[in-house]
Structure 1
Amino acid sequence: MAGKSGAPWWAHFMTYAGAVTMVVAGGTAAIAQYGVNKADDVIPQEDILGDAQAEMDVDHIEGPLNILVLGTDKQGGSTRSDTMIIVHINGDLTQATMVSLPRDLLVDIPDCGPAFDGNPCQNKLNHAASISDDWDVTRANVVSTVHDLTGLDFHLGATADFNGFIEMVDLVGTVEICTWKEFQSHHTDRVFEKGCHEYDQEAALDLVRQRYQFYDQIDYDLGLYGDYARQNFQQQAIKSLLEKAKEQGYLQDPAKLTELLEGFGEDKVSIDRPDDLSIADLAINLRNIDPSTMTTVRVPASSEQETEWGDIERIHDGPEAEAAASLWLAIQNDTLDAWMAANPEWVKSDAANPDSYTDAGTESPGAD
């Protein structure tokens, strides 16, 4: 599918286990079994993690669990990824935290492609996903890059095409997305007004692709400049979609459930999970996680303009490097609550909450 992609929404889907969790949590046994079988049929397995897959006891699932999520962009005959998310689920499987890896983060890449004769280099993270039109090659390179950066292995993996998923907005009618300023679409003549509004499928897809208009002072004040703004819109859209699906009875009506589950077909999502782990098992064990309470953490890094790699995000020596190193350790040791308490500046602003808006720095609408 053409167009930019992103996948913070998939973190919600994984921890909430999509429509199946809604069924297990509140539907009848018959509907639940129907949903279980359907989900296992329509959401394909994919070897995503390779050697970075952690061991998992599927008979006695317990946390902490770490999930690597890759947002895919399918154009022509190739598949690329420019969104990478780590989802951490705590030890008692009640809380999920998303760590967004900036696409422009300067990292060490093990294979920098034909231009480097397959040798390592330093470059932006999304360069790791652009070395080949062969998805098997680029996917492995991205996973190795993230593993080298963080030192983490992952219990589950997922790929997702956001543009395909947002087509499902038609199932619920509209989704609510909030903006902290007024701006004009980079792709159309549409103007998005400040505040919370309901958007249909076409407008929602337009909104969640925006990132070029977010370099005003208010965007930096909120920590939602550039691609961080796009990620925030995507998170809001999927949260709203899931909440409306629940409200409209998808958890109790088998016919509506079929419609929802078929939206998660092979062109949109895939999962890397142990062979003996069904989506139903995953859903049952993660049923106590509420996607509306998920916390999002930013990698400790700050921007640099006009470097040899262009505009980048860099983990600078000193406090940022110390905070990043302790972040990876906190994910490994399931101490993220303590890390967030000690590093509140890297916990992302809730721009979806109108109470968090400020008037300072608001600019008139414009397009790049």
Structure 2
Amino acid sequence: MVLAGLAVFGLHALTDRYDRSVAREELLDPGARTARPNLSGPLNYLLIGTDKRPNDTTSEQRADTILMVHVPAGLREAYLVSIPRDLLVAIPAGHGYGGGQDKINAAYEHGGGGRSGAQLLSATLTRMTGVRFDGAALIDFSGIRKVVDLLGGVRMCVDREVRSIHTNRVFSPGCRQMNGAEALDYVRQRYDLPGGDYDRQRHQQQLLRALLDRAGETNLRNNPVKLDQVIRAVGESLTVDTNGAPLDDLVFALRGLPANALQGIQVPSYPQVIDEVSYVVLDNGGDGLFAAVSGARMPDWARGNPRWVVRL
């Protein structure tokens, strides 16, 4: 989406640079992918944000952020569906894991992280939701922090005071420009927030919106060096699976998606303690959300379920 936002500065130059820097892997399990995607829509993508840190080569990494991105036909709006990291799911056997119930963010770790971890996570999601994906991306924190800084920061609005458990930084209410480290620190907080992980999901969705806004505001056309740096930073932060779609076709198709057409969606669910472990469980099977995603009825679902819609 950020690449599409930058496409106005030269599609071919952008994709040529991106092709040279991005890693490509088969991130989707065979049973979780669609046939070659129809780039006129509707489209469903899986975004996985990992908690991998610089120089961390271990496989013991959970998926810190899981987003299903639904783009209806016409490609003029998008729904960011945040999957609760503590959602209790049945993880199928595979990639050295015997299968069993666990939090959904553990599927990435049980699969060994990286390509195989993403495949097990995608298989888990498809088994739970019935949704198959047209592509996927793995995103790491260090790369996103660099992108934010190269764009000159992003404007984030804090609605209530929160103290970081990682840096002890205090975020006071109000709107301000945040650098990469500040923005990522803020959107990772969930403790002491009234909505807990639901507030964290909302803040992460807001960061994506802020990134797209900033990409559109920044005058990179007249700064080819900075444009090259941003494109390379985006590429270096991602591992992608386009499911056979040429990258330039995908970027061209999404180029008209405006930042103000993004809507955040939270999965109908509630927290529950089971055997002294805190989980999140689906409310009434997700209350029709996943059927709406797979059946391309998200606009109707969003209008009928305003409680779970986040205005970004």
Match 1:314 to one of 281, 286, 293: 281
State the 1:101 CA deviation: 0.9
Q: Is the 8 A contact 1:111 1:119 kept in 2?
A: yes
State the 1:127 CA deviation: 2.2
In the TM superposition, what whole-angstrom CA distance separates every residue of 1:188-216 from its partner, at most 9, and x where no partner exists?
332211121222333333222211121xx
Runs of 4+, deviation exceeding 4 Å: none
Q: Is the 8 A contact 1:299 1:346 kept in 2?
A: yes
How far apart, in 2, do the equivalents of 1:133 and 1:227 lie? Answer: 24
Structure of higher CA gyration radius: 1
How far apart, in 2, do the equivalents of 1:338 and 1:93 lie? Answer: 16
Does 1:258 find its partner at 2:228? Answer: yes
Q: Figure out how many residues of one structure are paired with residues of the other and give that number.
A: 307
Which residue of structure 2 lines up, in the alignment, with residue 286 of structure 1? Answer: 254
Q: Is the 8 A contact 1:110 1:145 kept in 2?
A: yes
How far apart, in 2, do the equivalents of 1:244 and 1:205 lie? Answer: 15
Which residue of structure 2 lines up, in the alignment, with residue 148 of structure 1? Answer: 127
Does 1:197 find its partner at 2:164? Answer: no
1:129 is paired with a residue whose SS is helix
How far apart, in 2, do the equivalents of 1:138 and 1:112 lie? Answer: 10
In the TM superposition, what whole-angstrom CA distance separates every residue of 1:156-202 from its partner, at most 9, and x where no partner exists?
11111133212223223332111111122222332211121222333
Are the structure 2 counterparts of residues 231 and 250 from structure 1 closer, same or farther at C-alpha, using a change threshold of 3 Å?
farther
Does 1:344 find its partner at 2:306? Answer: yes
Are the structure 2 counterparts of residues 210 and 259 from structure 1 closer, same or farther at C-alpha, using a change threshold of 3 Å?
same
Does 1:246 find its partner at 2:213? Answer: no
Which residue of structure 2 lines up, in the alignment, with residue 94 of structure 1? Answer: 76
Are the structure 2 counterparts of residues 310 and 85 from structure 1 closer, same or farther at C-alpha, using a change threshold of 3 Å?
same
Does 1:226 find its partner at 2:196? Answer: yes
Are the structure 2 counterparts of residues 246 and 93 from structure 1 closer, same or farther at C-alpha, using a change threshold of 3 Å?
closer
Q: Which amino acid aligns with 1:247?
A: E
How far apart, in 2, do the equivalents of 1:43 and 1:300 lie? Answer: 35
How far apart, in 1, do the equivalents of 2:102 and 2:138 lie? Answer: 23
State the 1:229 CA deviation: 2.3
In the TM superposition, what whole-angstrom CA distance separates every residue of 1:123-142 from its partner, at most 9, and x where no partner exists?
21122222254534322221
Does 1:326 find its partner at 2:288? Answer: yes
Are the structure 2 counterparts of residues 201 and 82 from structure 1 closer, same or farther at C-alpha, using a change threshold of 3 Å?
closer
In the TM superposition, what whole-angstrom CA distance separates every residue of 1:83-135 from its partner, at most 9, and x where no partner exists?
22111110111111111110111111113998xxx433222112222225453
Are the structure 2 counterparts of residues 132 and 68 from structure 1 closer, same or farther at C-alpha, using a change threshold of 3 Å?
closer
How far apart, in 2, do the equivalents of 1:238 and 1:45 lie? Answer: 22
How far apart, in 2, do the equivalents of 1:40 and 1:264 lie? Answer: 11
Q: Is the 8 A contact 2:108 2:118 kept in 1?
A: yes
Structure 2 residue runs without a partner (length 5+): none
State the 1:251 CA deviation: 4.2
How far apart, in 1, do the equivalents of 2:264 and 2:113 lie? Answer: 31
Which residue of structure 2 lines up, in the alignment, with residue 299 of structure 1? Answer: 267
How far apart, in 2, do the equivalents of 1:185 and 1:33 lie? Answer: 41
How far apart, in 2, do the equivalents of 1:20 and 1:40 lie? Answer: 14
Q: Is the 8 A contact 1:22 1:251 kept in 2?
A: no
Are the structure 2 counterparts of residues 343 and 62 from structure 1 closer, same or farther at C-alpha, using a change threshold of 3 Å?
same
Match 1:46 to one of 25, 33, 38: 25
TM-score by length of 1: 0.76
State the 1:345 CA deviation: 1.7
Q: Is the 8 A contact 1:93 1:285 kept in 2?
A: yes
Structure 1 residue runs without a partner (length 5+): 1-12, 220-224, 353-368
TM-score by length of 2: 0.89
Are the structure 2 counterparts of residues 288 and 242 from structure 1 closer, same or farther at C-alpha, using a change threshold of 3 Å?
closer
Residue correspondence of structure 1 range 57-136 to structure 2 within 5 A: 61-75=39-53, 76-79=56-59, 80=61, 81-111=63-93, 118-131=97-110, 133=112, 135-136=114-115
How far apart, in 2, do the equivalents of 1:136 and 1:315 lie? Answer: 27
Percent identity, aligned pairs only? 31
Residue correspondence of structure 1 range 131-210 to structure 2 within 5 A: 131=110, 133=112, 135-210=114-189
How far apart, in 1, do the equivalents of 2:27 and 2:6 lie? Answer: 26
Q: Which amino acid aligns with 2:89?
A: V
1:142 is paired with a residue whose SS is helix
How far apart, in 1, do the equivalents of 2:138 and 2:106 lie? Answer: 18
State the 1:290 CA deviation: 1.1
Q: Is the 8 A contact 2:48 2:65 kept in 1?
A: yes
CA RMSD of aligned residues (A): 2.4
Q: Is the 8 A contact 1:21 1:284 kept in 2?
A: no
